[in-house]
Structure 1
C-alpha cells in the first residue's frame, strides 16, 4: 500500500515528539517531511538557559540528531519556513519556493516572544530570549559590554539574568509586579525567591513600567514611566510569549488566541492538525512541555487511526530549579475568601509550603525550597482527593517510595520532557540502570530543570529495592563509603583477590553486596590482576550472564558476532534456521552492522547458541561490542585504505575485552567517514598514507563528537594506539563511565601526554595483551551455560512454564 504523505510545520519539541509517537504506533504508514525555520535539528528549548550560562553546548541539548531523521526516513528541511498552506489542494509552500503535497498536515509552529512596543525597541542590543540565535547575540554582547537589563521577572527573565551573571555582566531585572513569578508563585514564595537571587548578585527593580529604550544606534539605557532611568548596554525582553498562529490564520484555518483544535487536536479544516504552543484546546493555550507531549500522543493515535478518548486538558504544574532554587506550583496558587490552606513556613531553612483546599478537596499547592511532595500533590489534585488523604500520608522518608508504588505507569515523572513512570521502570529493567544520572541519560528524565531528581531517585529505589545506590557521587555504591579510587588502591595494596574478600576486608555494609558494586568489583579485580583473577560470572548483570539482552516483554534478543559487519551464506543459513525453529519474532539489522534475533524465550537461549555455533556479538557487554566498517578501498571508488580488513583485525584483537562500559569502534576508508567514527569510542579514518584516530565520541542521548587522538602511518600503529588508549581507559575510568564522559572529565591533552611517554605507552600495551590473552582463552558462553546460577534460573523458568500448562 502506498504511504500517505505527512508534513510537519515546525521542528520543535512538541511537533517532533508527536512524530515520534506516530513512528511508534505506525512506523510504515507515512512518508514524513519536516520544515524547521532554524538551521538545527530538534533541540530542547528548555535548556537554552544552560547554553547561555555556559554550562552546556548546543550539541548537548539536541534531542534528535541529524542521523535520527535519516534513520527514520524523515525528510528534514532545516532553515526553511513554510509561508503558505493551500488547504484545498493540500500543499504547503516555503520561503524557498518549494511546494510539497500532504495527506495529513501537522502545524506545530510554537510561539513567538512578545516584544514590548517601546520607542527604541529596534535599537542594536535589544533582544528576546527564545532561540539559539538570541543566546548567541547575548553571549556576543557579554564579551564587549558589562551592563544588562532584563525586562520580565518570570521564569524566562530570571533564567536570562542568571546566564548573563555567569557571563560576567551586571544585571538589573525589571518587573511590573511587586513580586517575582506571580503566575507560578504566591507573594510569600515570590519574595523568598527574590532574597535568594539577590544573594546571587541580581538587582531587582519591581513595580516598574518601561517607557522607552534610550540611546543612539545602540541601546544605552531604559527609561521608566516614573522618570527614573537605568544604564544598559543590553536589554533582554522576557515578558511572555504568544501562539504563532499567523500562518494558520492566513491560510483560512480558524484561530482565536491559538489555532483552534478539538480533543483529537484536529482543526476545523480536514486533515489539518495543530499541536503545542500554537494550539488552543477548550480555550486554553499551554506553554509547558508535559501537556504538549500529552497532546502529541493523542493526536498521533488519531492520525494513525487508533481510537482514543482524546486529550482532556491538563492540570498545570511547574516544578523548576530557578538559579539553583527549587520551586513548585500546581493548580490554584492564590486563596480567596472560601479557600482554606495548610501552610508550613520555615524561614531558617528557607522552606515554604502551602496547600490550598476548596470544599474539602485539594485544589492547588505552592512549594519553595523543599519540593519533594510536588508530584504527590499533583496526583492528589488530579484525582480530586480530600485534604485528609494528604494530611494522613506518611511523612517519613519511606513516603516517597509508597507514593511511587501507587502511581500509574502512565503518570508523568518528568514534566519537562514528558517522561512517565512506565518509561523509567522499563528502562531500569532493560538497561540495568542504577543511578539518577543513568536514568537521565537513557530517558531524559531530570535532564532539563532537574526538579524531578528526588522522584527519579525514589523510583530507582522502589524498582531496585536493596540494590539501589543511595550515595551515588561519593562511593561506588550504597554498600560502602569508599570511592572508586579508594577501592582500587585497597585491592592493590592489600593484595585482595576476590569479591567476597574485598567486601569483608573493606567492611562492606551489606554482606552480599549489590548489583552495582558486585559487577564493579568483578571488573576492578579482573583489570588489576587479569592472569590470576577468575571472573565471577554470578556477579555480572543478567544480560551478561545470559549473553542476551532482556526485552520489555520478558523475552531476549540474541546477536551473533559478525566481524567488521561481514558475514557469509553459511552463517546466514544458520541464523535463518534458528529463527524458524525457535519462532523468533523479528530479525533486525542493527546499527552495528549485525543481525539481532528478537523475541527469544529464556529457556531457548542455550540451544540457540549451540545451534548457531557462532561467537556472541556481546551486544550486552561492558566491553567491545562492534567495529563498524565501510566497504573500503577494495570496492569504493573513494576509499584509500582497507577499512574492512583493519576493522576485522581490531574486532578480533579486542574481542572479549572487559571495559568500564560498552565500547563501539569504526573504521572508515576515507574522510567521508561513512562508518561514523565521529560518534564512536574509537573511530579510525583512513587518508592517503596515514590514519587518523578519534576517541571519546558518543552518538547516544549525551551526544559527543570524538576528538583527534593521533595520526599514524600503519595498521599496526593503529592497533597499538587503540590498545594503549583503551588500557588507560580501563585503568583510570569509573565503572560504567563511557569513554565520552571519561575523555571529557580528564581531558584529551592529559590522555595524549600519558600516551606520548614511550615507556608508559609500551607498558599499557603489554598490560592490554596480558588481559586479552586471558579472556580470549575462555569460552564465555560455555562457561555461562555451565554456571550454577544460570542453570538454576533456567530450571526455575521451565518449572513456571510447566506449572502454567
Structure 2
C-alpha cells in the first residue's frame, strides 16, 4: 500500500467522522497521518442505538463502533475529551481548549449538530435535556430512576423513542407535537393516527397541535411544569427537547468559511477554503442540510476518495426512503406524504394485523409510499419508483407486494402465449405456408 504524504485532521469523532476514518484507511493511497479530535470522552458510538440504551435494552458497550485500541492499531491518533476552539486558516492549525496546536494539510469538520431549542422562557432550567449523546441518555436514566412526570417536546422519531424509553423505565410521559400529527415529515394522516393510537394504548399521553408557551421554574432553578399557550399546565420532573437539530457550524463560521444554515460545501465536500472540508450534519450542499445517515454515508465515500487523490464524481442528491422502527412499530416511507389531485391513490388497511399501506401513482408510475406494520415490500416499491416502472398493468395487485405482482405478470404472459398459439393454429394453411 502506498501512503499519501498528507495529514488529514478530523474534528468530530461521531458516526460521520468514524465512517470517514474507515473509508480513508480503505483507499489505495490513504493519508500518511490521520488525527481525530473528539469532544466527548469516549470513542465513536452508534447514536441510533441511544433509544434502546435509554429503554434499558442495551448497555453502553453495545453502542461502541471502534474502541481506542483499534485506532492505535490502525496508526490513527485519537484525541478525546478536548474541544477545538479556533481555526487558524493561514497557519493551517487548530487550537484546542487544552492548548494543543495541531497542524494539518486537510481539515475535515464533522462536528454534527445539537438539539434546536425553542425560544421560550425556562428553556435553560435544570432538568431540561436534549437526547443526542451518552451524557443525555445517562441524565435521562437518572431522571427515570426518580420517577415522576416527563414531557417530551417533539413528536418525530427521536422524541417518540425518548418518550417510550422513559415510559418503559416507569415515568408518566406526555409528548407534545406542534403539528396536527406525529411524524408529519414521514407519515400520512392515517399512518400517523395509527401510531398515535398504538402509543396511547401503551400509556403515552400524546398532545398534537401543542404550542409551547413556557417551562416553569420550581423556585430553585429546576423545571416544575410545562405550560401550553392554551393554558394547560403539565407537571414535569424532566423535559426532553427533540424538536429538530441545529448544525454545529460556529467553528467554521467564526473562521470566515462561507456559511448559511450550515457550512457551505461543493460537490466534493470542500468549503470556501480548499484545505477545509465539512461533512454530515454541519454541512450544507445545494440548499440542503442533513440528519439521516444514508446521504451522509454517500458524502463520506466521495470525500474519502477526494482526500486520497482519487478521481471521483461529486456528491449528488438522490431520493431516499426512510425505514424506521418507532417503539416496536415498523415504518417505511418515501416520496410525498400527502396525495395531490393528480395522484392515483391505492390503500390497504388490516386493523387486526396492524398493517397499513398507501401508494401514490401518477400516470401508472409509483411516486410515494407509506407502509405501517409490515414493511417487507418497501424496498421493492422504492426500486420500482426509482426505475420509473409503468405499473398500470399490475395496478390491482400492487398493494400486496412483488409476489402478487409477479404472479399477475406471469398469468398475463401465459394468457398472451395461449392467445398467440391459438391465433397461429387458426391461420389458413396458405397463410401459414
TM-score relative to the length of structure 2: 0.88
| Alpha-carbon displacement from aligned partner over 1:237-287 (angstroms, at most 9, x marks no partner) | 111102111111111111111211122111121121111111112111121
Q: Point out the structure with the larger strand share.
A: 2
CA–CA distance in 2 between the matches of 1:232 and 1:377? 43
Is contact 1:243-1:258 (8 Å) kept?
A: yes
Match of 1:79 among 78, 81, 89: 81
SS of the aligned residue for 1:69 comes to helix
Give the superposition deviation at 1:80: 0.9
Match of 1:238 among 230, 233, 242: 242
| Alpha-carbon displacement from aligned partner over 1:620-669 (angstroms, at most 9, x marks no partner) | xxxxxxxxxxxxxxxxxxxxxxxxxxxxxxxxxxxxxxxxxxxxxxxxxx
CA–CA distance in 1 between the matches of 2:361 and 2:159? 31
CA–CA distance in 2 between the matches of 1:147 and 1:344? 38
| Alpha-carbon displacement from aligned partner over 1:317-355 (angstroms, at most 9, x marks no partner) | 211111111111112221122222222122232211111
CA–CA distance in 2 between the matches of 1:200 and 1:212? 27
Give the superposition deviation at 1:220: 1.1
Aligned residues: 401
Match of 1:290 among 267, 275, 294: 294
Which position in structure 1 is the counterpart of 2:274? 270
Is contact 1:147-1:234 (8 Å) kept?
A: yes
SS of the aligned residue for 1:142 comes to helix
Which position in structure 2 is the counterpart of 1:32? 34
Match of 1:361 among 348, 360, 365: 365
| Alpha-carbon displacement from aligned partner over 1:49-101 (angstroms, at most 9, x marks no partner) | 11101111111111111111111111111111111112222111111111111
CA–CA distance in 2 between the matches of 1:285 and 1:387? 33
Change (3 A) 1:270 1:203: same
Which position in structure 2 is the counterpart of 1:184? 186
Is contact 1:343-1:352 (8 Å) kept?
A: yes
Which position in structure 1 is the counterpart of 2:390? 386
CA–CA distance in 1 between the matches of 2:397 and 2:271? 44
CA–CA distance in 1 between the matches of 2:210 and 2:115? 20
SS of the aligned residue for 1:6 comes to strand
Is contact 1:393-1:399 (8 Å) kept?
A: no
Change (3 A) 1:240 1:397: closer
CA–CA distance in 2 between the matches of 1:391 and 1:29? 53
Give the superposition deviation at 1:308: 2.1
Match of 1:91 among 74, 90, 93: 93
TM-score relative to the length of structure 1: 0.48
Match of 2:174 among 172, 175, 183: 172
Is contact 2:53-2:137 (8 Å) kept?
A: yes
Is contact 2:24-2:30 (8 Å) kept?
A: no
CA–CA distance in 1 between the matches of 2:285 and 2:294? 15
Give the superposition deviation at 1:380: 2.2
Is contact 1:151-1:236 (8 Å) kept?
A: yes
Give the superposition deviation at 1:384: 2.8
Change (3 A) 1:288 1:55: same
Range that drifts further, 227-236 or 82-91: 82-91
SS of the aligned residue for 1:138 comes to helix
Q: Equivalences for 1:28-177 in 2 at 5 Å?
A: 28-177=30-179
Q: Equivalences for 1:741-752 in 2 at 5 Å?
A: none
CA–CA distance in 2 between the matches of 1:384 and 1:308? 27
SS of the aligned residue for 1:115 comes to coil
Change (3 A) 1:396 1:160: closer
| Alpha-carbon displacement from aligned partner over 1:276-328 (angstroms, at most 9, x marks no partner) | 11111211112111111111001111111111222111213211111111111
Change (3 A) 1:89 1:223: same
Which position in structure 1 is the counterpart of 2:412? none
Which position in structure 2 is the counterpart of 1:655? none
SS of the aligned residue for 1:247 comes to helix
| Alpha-carbon displacement from aligned partner over 1:212-231 (angstroms, at most 9, x marks no partner) | 11122221111111111111
User: Does 1 or 2 have the higher relative contact order (CA < 8 Å, sep 6+)?
Assistant: 2
**Cα RMSD between the aligned structures?**
2.0
SS of the aligned residue for 1:32 comes to strand
CA–CA distance in 2 between the matches of 1:367 and 1:260? 35
Change (3 A) 1:2 1:336: closer
Answer with 1 or 2: which has the greater Rg: 1
Q: Equivalences for 1:317-396 in 2 at 5 Å?
A: 317-388=321-392, 391=395
For structure 1, which runs of at least 5 residues remain unmatched after alignment? 403-805
Which position in structure 1 is the counterpart of 2:426? none
SS of the aligned residue for 1:25 comes to coil
SS of the aligned residue for 2:227 comes to strand
Is contact 1:338-1:358 (8 Å) kept?
A: yes
Q: Equivalences for 1:145-544 in 2 at 5 Å?
A: 145-214=147-216, 215-216=218-219, 217-388=221-392, 391=395, 399=403
